Structure 1
């Protein structure tokens, strides 16, 4: 069980729905980041990204909560695959779920079970493992940063390589994407906490010169709200490296018992 879980979630634009989500239970925590559809792109879907994020988060929370009391809970990839399938079914028959531009999201997930911390990352929302002896280990899925040709990517390239071999994987309508997630487990005795962030917060590292240790220290000492405020201040003062000025930004820090 976690001893304390703190989170902060702020929209990038008050005029648009927040497409991030942070949810947690006593022994698990999840951060989801919906992929904002480019202007003018037909998703083939009657639902927006915020709907997908809410449905996926609800399905994950239900499965994680139901599994928590069991001595041998299901693997996280299996739980995510089930949640994606449940969400796809909730679309109904009016949505073209074969459209590669259908709503999608990244997922970062941790769970305490059997003396270990299990983790899963699908897409560019990392997990930060705070090590018992100090420092941090970062679990990341960087496949979006390694597409052919380098940035800036064309819309057609991203469309072709989303949820495709040799490309990158996200949670959309294909349950098999869960099998592509970065996953593993760590003995709880090696850890003091776990952090989860969307890329709206990891801009601090990716764009503004922070280290992962800096980000973990901010989450641990001043809390997730301070990390979100820090990225907003830097975005305003220095501008974005690419894309929109502000992105939806979510961070969570979950403390573990100390021996």
Structure 2
């Protein structure tokens, strides 16, 4: 099948209280899973006794088992099964009907002998680079089109038609992911990241090709260091969202 070289960094935000990192990267010989837990605003009651980190860890484990076992199911099916598996772990103790229940983005890549599968749910993108250098960004930007970003507006739009979708308590969210398959011969490398790293392109004006170039030459550490420098220099209130965020970046090189 050829070889897959995987290079990754997963780092908590520098201003994160207690040093908690709500990102998770799971890699295997032929797959990558990147998760980004959604931090709940202060004072929001989730109805769940577990925190976001718990959800992210459990989801990562539920996805890892079939991927390591070389399941023939599609990535969409694997994600639906993983969400259902996590749901069963706390359905008896938590209010899973609460729309503010802990949630996570998902980005997945699986490399086969003839193909490269990818899946993106919410704002953790995947970028494919062809042998000739062309790049294709796979993004799920539905959250960017909400009419407003108040706690109530986001709550009403989460995991709803016409809103945006995340991995939380509804297995059917997996079928709303952006997914596809590309011939392996058409892929030289793949970048997988959370929005704490992808903001190099999405917030700070670089192209996806430039982002992949940083990964190819300096690795994930270099990309995240550059993002941290931009974050530190940004004017307060210049962008929607947090100044600093957990950041994860993975580069897969295919032989």
Q: Which TM class, normalised by the smaller chain length?
A: over 0.9
* Residue matched to 1:4: 5
**Which residue is 1:121 aligned to?**
120
| Distance in 1 separating the partners of 2:200 and 2:190 | 18
Q: Where in structure 2 are the equivalents of 1:143-162 lying within 5 Å?
A: 143-147=142-146, 149=147, 152-162=148-158
Equivalent in the alignment of 2:253: 255
SS at match of 1:134: coil
Aligned residues: 250
Choose from 214, 229, 235 the match for 2:231. Answer: 235
Structure 1 stretches of 5 or more lacking a match? none
Shift in Å, 1:2: 4.4
Instruction: Confirm or deny that 1:41 pairs with 2:44.
Output: yes
Q: CA deviation at 1:242?
A: 2.6
Which runs of structure 1 show a deviation greater than 3 angstroms over 4 or more consecutive aligned residues?
A: none
Query: Matched residues in 2 for 1:99 and 1:2: separation?
Result: 44
Alignment of 1:100 with 2:99, yes or no, is yes
Could you tell me which runs of 5 or more consecutive residues in structure 2 were left unpaired when the two chains were aligned.
none
TM-score, normalised on structure 1?
0.93
Aligned to 1:130: 129
Residue 56 of structure 2, aligned match among 53, 58, 61:
53
Q: What TM-score results when the alignment is normalised by the length of structure 2?
A: 0.95
How much has 1:202 moved relative to structure 2?
1.4
SS of 2:36's equivalent in the other structure is: strand
Equivalent residue, structure 2, for 1:203: 199
- 3-state SS of 2:228 partner: helix
Task: Report how far residue 90 of structure 1 moved.
Answer: 1.2
The CA deviation at 1:14 is 4.2
Pairing 1:15–2:17 present: yes
Note if contact 1:2-1:254 (Cα within 8 Å) is conserved in structure 2.
no
Question: Does the Cα contact within 8 Å between 2:7 and 2:252 map onto a contact in 1?
Answer: yes
CA distance in 1, matches of 2:217, 2:134: 13
Matches of 2:179 and 2:222, distance apart in 1: 28
8 A contact 2:127–2:136 mirrored in 1: yes
